[in-house]
Amino acid sequence: MAITGPKETSHLKREILVRLIKAFYSNDFAENARLIPYQMRPKDYEATYRCCVYKERAILRDRAIAGLGLSIEDTDDSVHMAELAKKVLEREKPDENCLTVLQTACKGCVPSRFYVTDLCQGCVARPCVNTCRFGAISVKDGKSKIDTEKCKNCGMCAQVCPYQAIMKVIVPCENACPVGAIAKDDSGYTKIDFDKCISCGKCISACPFGAVHKKSQIIDVLKHIKNGKKVVAMVAPSMFGQFPCSPEQLRSAILKLGFYDVYEVAQGADVTSKTEAAEFEERMENGEEFMTTSCCAAYNELVEKHLPEIKPYRSTTHTPMYYTAEIVKEEYPDCISVFFSPCVAKRKEAMNDKNVDYVLNYDEVGAWFIALGVRTEECEKSGFKVEATAQARNYAVTGGVADAVKALLPEDIPAYSVTVDGLNKESIRDLKKYAKNGVCELGNLIEVMACPGGCLGGSSTINPYKQASKNLAKYVQDSKSCKNEK
């Protein structure tokens, strides 16, 4: 069986979104949504990554269901696709959980485990046997053997083997999850424990089968635009590195989709910077040892679910999305606000924010441009009402938040920033240690980003990081500095 690579799964997801959007604009949304798997895999199609065309259709159907914003786990296979499309048009709010697992696509991963390879020399010292605290390793016929029933997957045996003869078989989604929220159920399929999940989206990027899927809210947004609502877009800074156009052209392109107005979230980031700088100053004057930032939604979920001991050290300042949505709702009280995000985690944050109605990711917006034939690089330029600062626009990269805060601090308040560039088991252990000891030896202002590289490295970005950072850097360079406003 061929394994679908990340690029191929991204293309499939995008094509389905494009077709769903086109179906919405057609005369019969429900019927055209139903036909998507058959149009993409007609009966004379030669299967490329599954055993037959029927299996591929089943997977495409599930991808379309996720594109409709529905949970695969809660959807009856016997329900007609057209009926599901009609159901989406009737719903008033999106599902609570942002992710779903396609059991039709989840296939081929053996359980995560350590095993002994043929490189084992059966050495006399028996370091693997002597190191294992669980009695899981023995020597038979001159070779080490691991008892999978006793093995705890600690990996100590692999670390001490002088021949590197002990290897680990990983399950990509499980291995990527920093909080152990994803594992195989009794039937062998991947299952997400939403009580543990922090919506970081790492499992989406890691799965080579594309089995972990976002549940889109794009049909909900399309519905409000069609019904004549004032739908306002809020664009995060990282989006300006995603498309081959200037930020002013991107604003015009978004207006072509039917949005009433477009706000730059960096405007709210300037409020976050000022508020967080004032909070940091107060904490330092009160003798506190350190403070962490609070802009990353996945980090905030981590604190609430897995790291409550660091909560006293986390900034109480709201995120740029929060402050931008406040501004939008103040100007347009009856509008539908839509945040454009590089990650899944913002959807969870939005569900707890009365001023944010929906969240769309960049790949979904990109599919929308394709569906309507909007070429961003050919759009006229349209400026934002409020010009944000360079520091606010630089929130999208690791270190950007801390730099923005430091730029607003008085000279007599020293700030030594530390960046957590991506949440993983090691960085979470470090944060636990800082909370336990009440001090961070490396600095007093800790910026935490769930994704390596910051928001530009989010799970729902569409442009390679290097090119995206280059595009954003130019925009930041052309912006005014908040230092000039002090």
Please tell me the predicted confidence (pLDDT) of residue 138: 94
The pair of structure tokens assigned to 402 is: 């801390």
Q: Is the pLDDT of residue 58 over 60?
A: yes
CA 296 to CA 423: how far, in whole Å?
Answer: 11
Nearest to 86 by CA among 125, 30, 127: 30
Q: E-strand spans in 219-301?
A: 231-235, 261-264, 291-292
What SS3 state is found at 188? Answer: coil
Q: Which DSSP state fits 383?
A: -
Nearest to 12 by CA among 207, 250, 243, 219: 207
Query: What mean pLDDT is reported for the chain?
Result: 92
Task: Calculate mean pLDDT across residues 145-171.
Answer: 92
CA 288 to CA 267: how far, in whole Å?
Answer: 29
Percent pLDDT > 90 in the chain is: 82
Nearest to 24 by CA among 262, 257, 337: 257
Q: Which helix (H) or strand (E) holds 360?
A: strand 358-361
CA 315 to CA 293: how far, in whole Å?
Answer: 5
The hierarchical CATH code for the domain 113-169 is 3.30.70.20
**CB 242, CB 468: distance < 8 Å:** yes
Please tell me the predicted confidence (pLDDT) of residue 11: 87
CA 485 to CA 270: how far, in whole Å?
Answer: 11
What SS3 state is found at 255? Answer: helix
| Sign of the alpha-carbon dihedral angle for 32, 37, 38, 41 | positive
CA 36 to CA 61: how far, in whole Å?
Answer: 8
Angle ∠(219,220,226) on CA atoms, nearest 5: 85
Angle ∠(428,432,436) on CA atoms, nearest 5: 170
Between 152 and 257, whose confidence is greater?
A: 257
CA 335 to CA 257: how far, in whole Å?
Answer: 16
Q: Is the pLDDT of residue 7 over 70?
A: no
pLDDT bin (cut points 50, 70, 90) of residue 481 is: confident
- In the Cβ-directed half-sphere of 292, how many Cα atoms lie within 13 Å? 26
Q: Is the pLDDT of residue 221 over 90?
A: yes
Radius of gyration of the chain (CA): 25
Task: Calculate mean pLDDT across residues 41-68.
Answer: 90
CA distances from 268 to 232, 272, 295 (A): 15, 6, 11
Query: In which residue ranges of the chain is CATH 3.40.950.10 found?
Result: 220-485
CATH architecture of 220-485: 3-Layer(aba) Sandwich (3.40)
Tell me the angle at which helices 53-67 and 6-25 cross, rounded to the nearest 10 degrees. 60
Task: Calculate mean pLDDT across residues 159-179.
Answer: 92
CA 61 to CA 72: how far, in whole Å?
Answer: 10
Q: Is the pLDDT of residue 21 over 50?
A: yes
User: Could you read off the pLDDT of 308-345 as tens digits, one per residue?
Assistant: 999 999 999 999 999 999 999 999 999 999 999 999 99
Task: Calculate mean pLDDT across residues 221-231.
Answer: 97
Nearest to 459 by CA among 176, 245, 196: 176
**Identity of the residue numbered 14:** R
Please tell me the predicted confidence (pLDDT) of residue 1: 34
Query: Which region, left, alpha or beta, applies to residue 361 given φ > 0 means left and ψ of -120 to 50 means alpha?
Result: beta
Q: Is the pLDDT of residue 2 over 60?
A: no
**Identity of the residue numbered 449:** M
Tell me the angle at which helices 81-90 and 53-67 cross, rounded to the nearest 10 degrees. 10
CA 246 to CA 7: how far, in whole Å?
Answer: 25
Between 209 and 111, whose confidence is greater?
A: 209
Q: Is the pLDDT of residue 429 over 80?
A: yes
Please tell me the predicted confidence (pLDDT) of residue 485: 44
Q: Is the pLDDT of residue 6 over 60?
A: no
Please tell me the predicted confidence (pLDDT) of residue 484: 40
Nearest to 92 by CA among 364, 349, 367, 358: 358
Q: Is the pLDDT of residue 3 over 90?
A: no
Nearest to 314 by CA among 326, 325, 302, 328: 302
CA 372 to CA 282: how far, in whole Å?
Answer: 50
Write the CB contacts of 317 (distance below 8 Å, at least 6 apart in sequence).
272, 275, 276, 279, 294
Task: Calculate mean pLDDT across residues 249-275.
Answer: 97
Q: Is the pLDDT of residue 5 over 50?
A: no
Q: Is the pLDDT of residue 405 over 60?
A: yes
Between 85 and 110, whose confidence is greater?
A: 85
Write the CB contacts of 203 (distance below 8 Å, at least 6 apart in sequence).
99, 173, 176, 177, 182, 192, 212
pLDDT bin (cut points 50, 70, 90) of residue 30 is: very high
